[in-house]
Amino acid sequence: MSALAVQGLNLHHGLLHAVRDVSFAVGNGEVVALVGANGAGKTTLLRAIAGAHRPTSGVIALDGKDIAHVPAHRRVGMGIALVPEGRKLFTQMTVEENLLLGRMARRPGPWTVEKVIETFPNLGPRRRAKTGTLSGGEQQATAIGRALMSNPSVLLLDEVSLGLSPIAVERLYESLRTLMQSGTTILLVEQDLGRAMRVASRVICMLEGRLVLEGSTTSLPREKITEAYFGSGHERAMA
């Protein structure tokens, strides 16, 4: 059974059909990269999975149970955690206080403040600093750590490298590498196609709200992904 399965998902923003008949699955412990140009529907899809947007139709199944109409706060308790684009931290609270907010779902598991700091060592000296004073990389590490504190079975990462310097991105992904190899199920939205292909076992490409390409990162030529990314072909392909 897949950790996460989406079947025939449709979502509208007013008259805009933002997500169009999307179906895919993510296996337990799998890291899947969701790629596509701006406006392709990636963030909307992740927010729908997390419960921030209600779908028009379709199924979102977590461990085989349809949660498409379950409120967002209950989905956190069931094991879904979203690291949103823009981080959405409480900037007047400290790193540690932001991390502890992730425990509000009271979901059992191994993640503690100490384990988060072990995973993201740059947060150690800053654990009692207000997050509004942190660098972009430190803020992103805090946002990811807060999500991990809910002990998720599925972690949704939306544009974690957006707006960060190249050095900060390298540090962040170095910390994430251990997490990605630990068996955590991850669905990752990443604009950097090369990086996405290096860290994920499978890639899914969206175009204009649809899935147009899906396959393993080892079997899909980068040229084929680039063509799908920019809309050179509209046929969905499987590899």
User: Cα separation of 233 and 215, whole Å?
Assistant: 16
Give me the percent of the chain exceeding a pLDDT of 90.
Answer: 69
Q: Which domain holds residue 139?
A: 4-238
User: Are 33 and 27 contacting, i.e. CB atoms less than 8 angstroms apart?
Assistant: no
Instruction: Write the Ramachandran bin of 189: left for phi over 0, alpha for psi from -120 to 50, otherwise beta.
Output: beta
**Minimum mean pLDDT among 14-23, 147-156, 222-231: which range?**
222-231
Q: In this structure, what are the phi and psi dihedrals at residue 228, rounded to the nearest 5 degrees? A: -65, -40
**Minimum mean pLDDT among 88-92, 107-111, 162-166: which range?**
162-166
| pLDDT one-digit tens code per residue, 151-205 | 999 999 999 888 888 999 998 888 888 888 878 899 999 888 888 888 999 999 9
- Structure confidence at residue 124 (pLDDT): 96
- Structure confidence at residue 70 (pLDDT): 96
Q: Which residues contact 226 (CB under 8 A, 6 or more apart)?
A: 193, 232
- Structure confidence at residue 189 (pLDDT): 95
0.95 cut: is pTM over it?
Answer: no
Q: Which residues contact 136 (CB under 8 A, 6 or more apart)?
A: 163, 164, 165, 168
- Structure confidence at residue 235 (pLDDT): 45
Give the residue carrying structure tokens 């199924």.
Answer: 59
Q: What is the mean pLDDT of residues 4-23?
A: 95
Q: What is the mean pLDDT of residues 4-16?
A: 94
- Structure confidence at residue 195 (pLDDT): 87
Q: Which residue has the higher pLDDT, 27 or 86?
A: 27
Q: Which helix (H) or strand (E) holds 12?
A: strand 4-13
| pLDDT one-digit tens code per residue, 120-129 | 999 999 999 9
User: Cα separation of 197 and 83, whole Å?
Assistant: 20
Give the residue carrying structure tokens 């046929």.
Answer: 235
Tell me which residue of 26, 17, 18 sits closest to 156, measured CA to CA.
Answer: 26
Instruction: Give me the DSSP letters along 153-187.
Output: SEEEEE-TTTT--HHHHHHHHHHHHHHHTTT-EEE
Q: Where are the alpha helices (DSSP H) in the chain?
A: 42-50, 72-78, 95-101, 113-119, 136-148, 166-180, 193-199, 222-230
| pLDDT one-digit tens code per residue, 133-162 | 999 999 999 999 999 999 999 999 999 888
Q: Domain count of the chain?
A: 1
45 DSSP assignment: H
CATH, residue 91: 3.40.50.300
Q: What is the chain's Cα-based Rg? A: 17
